[in-house]
């Protein structure tokens, strides 16, 4: 199928919507909520009502945010509306109408104030480096480097996903890549702000990150968080002509193809979950599969719902700030389908997916491991990480 | 109304929220409130989401006792208000009755819950080595129960017939039995066929059993371009009768391709510029599915086709887009359509008449269709308009009558009835047949609670005395307001 999608503005696209319901059939949050108002076509018509002057209650407004921005609706839309763009624009409109849900305010105020979504002091951003074996004296914070590793809030601060960052620097070191992290100079990429419709605040964090990256003279920026990568490609790239922006799996695929990573046998059955922002919204489908295929001994079983039809982990679009129960529902539904493969390990390539899918396995499949592909690769290398990976 | 008297349904499965109810008071066709509000109560009093068949029965029991209108609804992917209430009451959102797929490999049948989409059913069957025989061109959202309730003609019908032909049994909650769940088979006293195309007016289907086929081992798609409607139509007629029978034949005229082009999409070949006079070009896609030997013999039947065969990549693209014809709506932003069931030997006359009508009045009208039997085709004629301009849009709605009349001249009749096509009841059924349908309705739904206002008789303002002059006048207005000015 041809992928052409369009966006002419909120009202124009809302009128073009055919109300066919294709979007509803694939929407993970509609599946969880069940009411028409939580289907993409329902949300679209709520927005149409709102822009037409209809007042919506707080509960009705909440429907507009019960969405992970997974982009599956865009994929199937019969009239080819870029619905992901539509939701982002609609959220911007609600900010200008001062109708944003109050649940956003605390977390997003934190981002503006501290530079990260966790409300930590941002100078703790590179604290995870100190947990590693023999960290270098510069703690990987160098003035100049070819490659900037943009770590992102999740991998910088969340204990579970800090291990992904550790794994990545281990891989980068092993491959001899000249890289730096930005330490406290890195601030949130701005995606949570953009997803909340807060464009003015987003611009401010973009400026800060751009300044820091430019100072390094890097020609490549690499991300292990797909949302950060999409954000940089969509919002930063025009300010950094000639700079490559890669997901860690793209770099890994190059390194494994060049046999730059020594990997030992791993006897394990794994499946792979395509993160929405890496695959459907980011266009990277093959690189993670090439990396998995390069790991000796691994038995890889593809899940039926993959690539363009990939499932959502439930953790995108700021949904976690609005409705944690719904996030959990989506995650557990996705885990259920991933486990049909018989895999002992769910591999993915996104720290938020790791968090959500781990939560999804807690109750139903506690023996199943959820790993980022970077953790898996680091484990297979000659010098495994000191910390437990599970 | 006693929403609290249900014994099996929890409060979180019921809503009286005003905005929520509004979302259940429309389907694919936008209809201005001036045409609806004075005559119909499309806003349901409540929406109820049953989670299983027993809960459906519970609702029907309550509704029967209190004579509350019930409108069953799942995807609402039709356009004639088939699943929109017109007398208020309760909308039964059936979407939680989905999946539950049980395959009987020995008998090649599947039992499935009614709100499962055709896409999902086929997807699940393909994983088990089977496939559905037919599906609608809206398969991504259209549900199994919904299509049984319609005519059930679509992709694959040329080879395998309608969904009615594949129906093995179903379970239905009947208002005559105060919601009692009955299993209806080919051997039941109550004929299974009564529930095909009943549009939810007799009861609520709670599962469906269908015949399926082994997953085809091979398929091939062949796209041909034609310079004239005459040769296009002749080729379709000849191919529809060929053996081995194609799985499906899709066709489109230049108007449809023009709508795609104006919508910003690539089309398989260039159309002459300017738009008028209307080009006679068209295309057809012939698809074979089955064993490799059958496919090979199928290809041989195309050897003498008069059109120009396009590349296999273009043919595959066209096949992959078979569920995405609404892309043409981008040129609208609104799109109105007339869908008719037409004798295949009259296709040339219909296409030519539409072309002439479009050319004379500088209207953009696109027609495409799927051949559903060796002698019948489904035809969809689409034209762009703009619902944000009420007068223009009302005129465009009136123009549907002009196209229905044109189709009727060649033996065409509306596909699906709902509310709006009750205006064409005399074209759809003989007096005897309509009387028989009403007898069934009286027998199974004596209090008339099931989807009232649909199928059996036209309500004011759809009576001929009001609808004919009204639609004729508005349709005439469309000839000037709908002119293509690009």
Chain B residue nearest residue A45, CA to CA: B23
| Adjacent-strand bridge partners of B219 | B289
Domains contained in chain A, CATH given = 10-96 (1.10.1060.10), 103-254 (3.40.50.1860), 260-380 (3.40.50)
Please check the confidence at residue A384 and state whether its pLDDT lies above 70.
no
ipTM of the complex: 0.97
**Is the CB of A60 less than 8 angstroms away from the CB of B17?**
yes
Please check the confidence at residue B8 and state whether its pLDDT lies above 50.
yes
pLDDT at A105: 84
Q: What percent of chain B has pLDDT over 90?
A: 97
Q: What angle is formed at CA B462 by the lines to CA B457 and CA B467, rounded to 5 degrees?
A: 140
Please check the confidence at residue A389 and state whether its pLDDT lies above 50.
no
Q: Which residues in chain A belong to E strands, given as ranges?
A: 147-150, 179-181, 220-223, 244-247, 268-272, 298-300, 345-348, 369-372
Please check the confidence at residue A134 and state whether its pLDDT lies above 90.
no
* Residue B79 sits at the chain A interface (C-beta within 8 Å): no
pLDDT at A1: 43
- The closest of B198, B141, B142, B195 to B168, measured between CA atoms, is B195
Please check the confidence at residue A385 and state whether its pLDDT lies above 60.
no
Q: What average pLDDT does the structure give for chain A? A: 94
**Is the CB of A16 less than 8 angstroms away from the CB of B76?**
no
Chain A residue nearest residue B265, CA to CA: A4
pLDDT at A364: 86
- Dump pLDDT digits (tens) for A34-58: 999 999 999 999 999 999 999 999 9
Residue in B51, B77, B94 to test binding to A, most A beta-carbons within 10 Å: B77
Q: Sort out which chain A residues have CB atoms less than 8 A from B123's CB and list them.
A: 304
Give the torsion sign (CA, A359, A364, A367, A373): negative
**3-state class of B11 per DSSP?**
helix
Domains contained in chain B, CATH given = 102-214 (3.30.465.10), 218-414 (3.40.462.40)
Most distant pair of Cα atoms in chain B: their distance: 68
Minimum-distance CB partner of A20 among B28, B119, B266: B28
**Is the CB of B19 less than 8 angstroms away from the CB of A35?**
no
* Residue A22 sits at the chain B interface (C-beta within 8 Å): yes
Cα separations (Å) of A360 from A53, A333, B354, B379? 40, 8, 56, 47
Q: Sort out which chain B residues have CB atoms less than 8 A from A24's CB and list them.
A: 75, 141
pLDDT at A383: 56
**Is the CB of A2 less than 8 angstroms away from the CB of B317?**
yes
And the tokens for B426? Answer: 């005399």
Please check the confidence at residue A382 and state whether its pLDDT lies above 70.
no
What is the pLDDT averaged over residues B30-59?
Answer: 97
Per the CB < 8 A criterion, the answer to whether B83 and B73 are in contact is: yes
pLDDT interval class at A390 (50, 70, 90): very low
pLDDT at A388: 40
Chain B residue nearest residue A41, CA to CA: B23
**Is the CB of A6 less than 8 angstroms away from the CB of B330?**
yes
Please check the confidence at residue B4 and state whether its pLDDT lies above 90.
no
Please check the confidence at residue B233 and state whether its pLDDT lies above 80.
yes
- The closest of B481, B318, B282 to B386, measured between CA atoms, is B481
β A268-272/A298-300 pair status:
parallel
- Dump pLDDT digits (tens) for A181-196: 999 999 999 999 999 9
**Is the CB of B333 less than 8 angstroms away from the CB of A25?**
no
Q: What average pLDDT does the structure give for chain B? A: 97
- Dump pLDDT digits (tens) for B243-271: 999 999 999 999 999 999 999 999 999 99
pLDDT at B178: 82
pLDDT at A260: 87
**Is the CB of B387 less than 8 angstroms away from the CB of A36?**
no
* Residue A25 sits at the chain B interface (C-beta within 8 Å): yes
And the tokens for A234? Answer: 């969509």
- Dump pLDDT digits (tens) for B161-216: 999 999 999 999 999 888 899 999 999 999 999 999 999 999 999 999 999 999 99
What is the pLDDT averaged over residues A13-21?
Answer: 97
pLDDT at A3: 64
């Amino acid at each position: 199928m041809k992928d052409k999608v369009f966006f002419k503005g909120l009202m124009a696209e809302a009128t073009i919507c055919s109300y066919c319901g294709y979007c509803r059939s694939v929407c993970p949050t509609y599946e969880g909520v069940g009411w028409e108002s939580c289907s993409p076509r329902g949300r679209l018509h709520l927005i149409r009502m709102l822009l037409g002057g209809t007042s919506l209650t707080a509960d009705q407004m909440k429907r507009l945010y019960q969405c992970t921005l997974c982009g599956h609706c865009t994929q199937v839309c019969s009239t080819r509306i870029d619905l992901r763009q539509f939701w982002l624009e609609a959220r911007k409109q609600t900010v200008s109408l001062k109708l944003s849900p109050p649940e956003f305010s605390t977390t997003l105020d934190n981002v503006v104030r501290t530079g990260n979504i966790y409300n930590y002091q941002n100078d703790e951003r590179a604290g995870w480096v100190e947990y590693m074996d023999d960290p270098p004296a510069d703690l990987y914070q160098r003035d100049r480097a070819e490659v900037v590793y943009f770590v992102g809030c999740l991998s910088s601060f969340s204990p579970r996903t800090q291990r992904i960052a550790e794994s990545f620097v281990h891989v980068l070191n092993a491959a001899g890549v000249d890289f730096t992290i930005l330490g406290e100079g890195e601030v949130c990429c701005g995606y949570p702000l953009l997803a909340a419709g807060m464009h003015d605040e987003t611009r401010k964090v973009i400026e800060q990150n751009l300044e820091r990256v430019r100072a390094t003279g890097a020609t490549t920026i690499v991300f292990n968080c797909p949302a950060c990568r999409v954000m940089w490609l969509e919002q930063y790239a025009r300010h950094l002509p000639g700079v490559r922006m890669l997901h860690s799996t793209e770099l890994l695929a190059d390194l494994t193809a060049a046999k730059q990573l020594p990997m030992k046998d791993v006897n394990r059955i794994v499946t792979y979950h395509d993160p929405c922002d890496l695959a459907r919204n980011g266009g990277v489908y093959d690189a993670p599969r090439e990396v998995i295929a390069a790991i000796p001994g691994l038995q890889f079983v593809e899940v039926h719902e993959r690539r363009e039809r990939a499932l959502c982990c439930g953790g995108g679009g700021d949904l976690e700030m609005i409705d944690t129960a719904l996030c959990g529902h989506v995650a557990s539904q996705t885990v259920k389908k991933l486990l049909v493969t018989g895999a002992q390990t769910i591999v993915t390539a996104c720290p938020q997916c790791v968090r959500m899918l781990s939560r999804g396995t807690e109750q139903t499949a506690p023996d199943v491991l959820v790993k980022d592909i970077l953790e898996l690769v680091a484990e297979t290398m000659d010098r495994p990480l000191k910390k437990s990976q599970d | 109304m006693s929403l609290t008297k249900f014994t099996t349904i929890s409060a979180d499965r019921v809503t009286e929220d005003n905005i929520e109810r509004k979302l259940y008071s429309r389907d694919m066709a936008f209809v201005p409130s001036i045409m609806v509000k004075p005559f119909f109560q499309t806003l349901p009093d409540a929406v109820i989401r049953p989670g299983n068949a027993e809960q459906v029965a519970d609702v029907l029991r309550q509704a029967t006792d209190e004579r509350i209108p019930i409108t069953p609804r799942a995807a609402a992917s039709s356009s004639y208000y088939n699943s929109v209430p017109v007398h208020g009451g309760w909308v039964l959102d059936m979407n939680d009755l989905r999946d539950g797929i049980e395959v009987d490999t020995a008998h090649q049948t599947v039992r499935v819950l009614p709100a499962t989409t055709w896409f999902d059913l086929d997807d699940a069957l393909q994983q088990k080595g089977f496939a559905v025989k037919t599906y609608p061109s809206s398969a991504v959202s259209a549900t199994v129960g919904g299509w049984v309730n319609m005519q059930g003609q679509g992709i694959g019908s040329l080879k395998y017939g309608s969904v009615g032909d594949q129906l093995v049994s179903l379970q239905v909650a009947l208002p005559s039995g105060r919601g009692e769940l009955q299993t209806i088979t080919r051997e039941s006293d109550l004929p299974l066929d009564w529930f095909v195309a009943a549009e939810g007016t007799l009861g609520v289907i709670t599962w469906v059993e269908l015949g399926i086929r082994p997953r085809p081992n091979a398929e091939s798609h062949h796209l041909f371009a034609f310079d004239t409607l005459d040769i296009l139509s002749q080729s379709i007629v000849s191919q529809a009768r060929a053996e081995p029978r194609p799985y499906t034949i899709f066709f489109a005229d230049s108007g449809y391709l023009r709508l795609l082009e104006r919508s910003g999409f690539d089309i398989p070949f260039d159309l002459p510029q300017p738009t008028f006079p209307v080009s006679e070009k068209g295309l057809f896609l012939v698809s074979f599915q089955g064993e490799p030997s059958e496919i090979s013999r199928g290809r041989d039947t195309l050897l003498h086709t008069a059109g120009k065969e396009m590349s296999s990549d273009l043919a595959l693209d066209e096949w992959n887009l078979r569920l995405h014809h609404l892309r043409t709506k981008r040129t609208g932003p609104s799109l109105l359509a007339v869908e008719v069931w037409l004798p295949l030997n009259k296709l040339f006359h219909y296409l030519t008449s539409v072309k002439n009508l479009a050319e004379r009045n500088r209207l953009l009208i696109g027609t495409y269709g799927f051949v559903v039997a060796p002698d019948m085709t489904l035809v969809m004629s689409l034209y762009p308009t703009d619902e944000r301009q009420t007068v223009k849009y009302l005129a465009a709605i009136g123009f549907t009558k002009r196209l229905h009349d044109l189709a009727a001249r060649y033996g065409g009749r509306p596909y699906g009835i709902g509310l709006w096509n009750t205006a064409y009841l005399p074209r759809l059924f003989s007096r005897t047949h309509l009387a028989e349908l009403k007898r069934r309705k009286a027998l199974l739904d004596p209090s008339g609670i099931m989807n009232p206002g649909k199928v059996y008789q036209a309500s004011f303002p759809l009576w001929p005395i009001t609808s004919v002059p009204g639609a004729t006048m508005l349709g005439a207005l469309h000839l000037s307001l709908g002119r293509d000015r690009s």
